[in-house]
């Protein structure tokens, strides 16, 4: 007889769209872990102009202040709050009663953290345990394969449609960084929003400057803005 986890993994392998992933797989993940709240989040879908979301990312999900987020970014491995902090400290970081116990896992594509799977439990419920992390690790592995295969094609199309900058010289991740630079974000703020370290942002900008043959953030934004106008003109022509 197939175990519940095996059936869940098989269901992930059969998903053909993000809509099905959210409507069918996310509830199954919540049920598997007996979670109060559950969700799958891909960073390239988080709206840049959402002030409430920015506040969440800057505080609750800050890799500087949240040890759960920091562990996830540094280790690319599932983690729950009890592994990295004390109950007293966690209450200060996240005082919500429905987030008393939190467990998150990484979705990886080409060695980049592109999303997370998260589950929470209320204070009255049991804490997440080692076997929960083991199950989440298997789920994250299958979601990462799904993201690198099925999702990658549609994600590339969204990048071309949504980002104001279009150039074949930059990767989708670099385009995200360029857009945030154009919005005036600092390296630390970009790192927080994209769930990467500030140093990773610095190194990415260095690569982007070399690719575009520029020496400053302003030059980069100007060049990419000009490229966008040329791209649009060529397509219309």
pLDDT digits (tens, 9 = 90+) for 188-216: 888 888 888 889 999 999 999 998 888 88
pTM for this model (two decimals): 0.67
Are 150 and 107 contacting, i.e. CB atoms less than 8 angstroms apart? no
**8 A C-beta contact, residue 40 and residue 107:** yes
- CB-based contact 125:34 (threshold 8 Å): yes
**Residue 124 pLDDT exceeds 50:** yes
In this prediction, residue 237 has a pLDDT band, given cuts at 50, 70 and 90, of very low
- 23-38 per-position pLDDT tens digit: 999 999 999 999 999 9
Residue 116 has pLDDT above 60, yes or no: yes
Which domains are present in the chain? 4-157 (3.30.450.40), 163-236 (1.10.10.10)
Checking if the pLDDT of 7 tops 90, the result is yes
Provide the sign of the torsion angle of the four alpha carbons 83, 59, 191, 162, taken in this order: positive
Q: What is the pLDDT of residues 132-190, one digit of tens each?
A: 999 999 999 999 989 888 876 655 555 445 555 556 678 888 888 888 888 778 898 88
Res 46 pLDDT > 80: no
Two structure tokens written together for 112: 């980049």
Neighbours of 56 (CB within 10 A): 13
pLDDT tens by residue, 52-111:
555 555 555 667 788 998 899 888 999 999 999 999 999 888 888 999 999 999 998 877
Closest by CA to 102, choosing from 42, 195, 37, is 37
H-helix or E-strand containing 42?
strand 37-42
Give the strand pairing for 37-42 and 101-109.
unpaired
How much is the pLDDT for 39? 93
**Percent of the chain clearing pLDDT 70 (strictly above):** 79
């Amino acid at each position: 007889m197939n175990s519940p986890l095996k059936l869940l993994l098989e269901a992930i392998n059969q998903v053909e769209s993000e809509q099905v992933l959210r409507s069918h797989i996310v509830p199954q993940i919540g049920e598997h872990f007996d979670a109060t709240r559950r969700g799958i989040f891909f960073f390239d879908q988080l709206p840049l102009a959402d002030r409430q979301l920015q506040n969440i990312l800057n505080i609750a999900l800050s890799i500087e202040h949240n040890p759960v987020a920091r562990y996830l970014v540094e280790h690319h491995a599932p983690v729950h709050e009890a592994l990295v902090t004390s109950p007293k400290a966690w209450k200060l970081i996240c005082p919500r009663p429905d987030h008393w116990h939190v467990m998150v896992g990484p979705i990886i594509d080409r060695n980049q953290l592109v999303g997370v799977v998260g589950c929470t439990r209320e204070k009255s419920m049991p804490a997440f345990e080692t076997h929960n992390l083991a199950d989440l690790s298997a789920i994250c592995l299958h979601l990462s394969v799904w993201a690198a295969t099925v999702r990658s094609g549609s994600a590339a199309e969204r990048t071309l449609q949504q980002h104001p900058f279009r150039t074949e010289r930059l990767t989708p991740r670099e385009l995200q960084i360029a857009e945030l630079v154009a919005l005036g974000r600092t390296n630390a703020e970009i790192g927080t929003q994209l769930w990467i370290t500030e140093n990773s942002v610095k190194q990415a900008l260095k690569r982007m400057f070399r690719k575009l043959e520029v020496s400053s953030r302003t030059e980069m934004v100007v060049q990419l803005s000009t490229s966008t106008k040329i791209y649009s003109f060529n397509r219309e022509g």
